[in-house]
Every structure is written in C-alpha cells, then in structure tokens.
Amino acid sequence: MGDGATAGKIALVRRRRYGGEVGLPKGKARRDEDLRTAALREVKEETGYDAEIVGHAGTTRYVVGSRPKAVSYFRMRLRGPAAPTAVDPEEIDRVEWVTPREALALLTHAEDRRLVAGVFGLPTEERA
C-alpha cells in the first residue's frame, strides 16, 4: 500500500515479457532467500520501491504446463520514494497505482483478482 499520493492504492505491474499481463509484483525466491526476503527484493526490482512487510496477504495456486505453482503475497508499506531507474525495463513496462476496486478490473488472472478481493473485502465478478 502506498503513502501520500498512493495512499489507499496498490501497485500493479504491466509485464512486457508476458504480452502486457497486468499483475501484482512477484517473482521467484533465490536459493539463499526466504519468502519474505524474496518478496521485498522482487517488489524493489519490479517497482523501484523499498517496502516493509506488514502482514501476509495470501497464497495463489495455479498450474503452468503440468507443474503446480504457489505464490505467496504480502501486504507491504512503502519505506520511501521510488528509485527512478530500479524497474527492470526488459520485464516491466510500467507500474500503476490503483485502488483495490480498480485492480479487480485490470488484473489479468482470476487468482490475483480473488486475492485482492479477499484482502480488501470486495466482491469478485469472474470475467471471461
């Protein structure tokens, strides 16, 4: 969640690598990282923001090919302004700050919409 101009909003990323997919910041943990450390690193790499974890948001599960995947998400608070060059331009097209309700209309994947709806107590409407 943001502070000041971003208060009450969440960060979404438009991923260039996946055809303009709109999602929550995420990535894979490195061998030497726990999930919390990986989440903070990925948020910094994808959005440019330093953050601190304030709680667990939930876990989404889906299948890629024939492999099951689980992604843990955390609620975070900004620790300062964004570094203007921190976003990975090969993967991330841009970062958008939106309200949770706006996020439900923008997120590409249903599991992300369900997660946001659950965290913020919003109804979900499945879309095609």
Domains and their CATH numbers in the chain:
4-99 (3.90.79.10)
Q: Which long-range contacts (CB under 8 A, 24 or more apart) does 34-42 make?
A: 35/72, 36/74, 39/72, 39/73, 39/74, 39/76, 40/76
The whole-angstrom separation of Cα 31 and Cα 46 is: 19
Per-residue tens of pLDDT for the chain, all 128 residues: 555 677 889 999 999 877 889 999 998 999 999 999 999 999 999 998 999 999 999 999 988 899 999 999 999 999 987 766 667 778 888 899 999 999 999 999 999 999 999 999 998 766 54
**For the whole model, what pTM was predicted?**
0.86
Whole-number Cα distances in Å, 64 to 13, 26, 68: 20, 15, 6
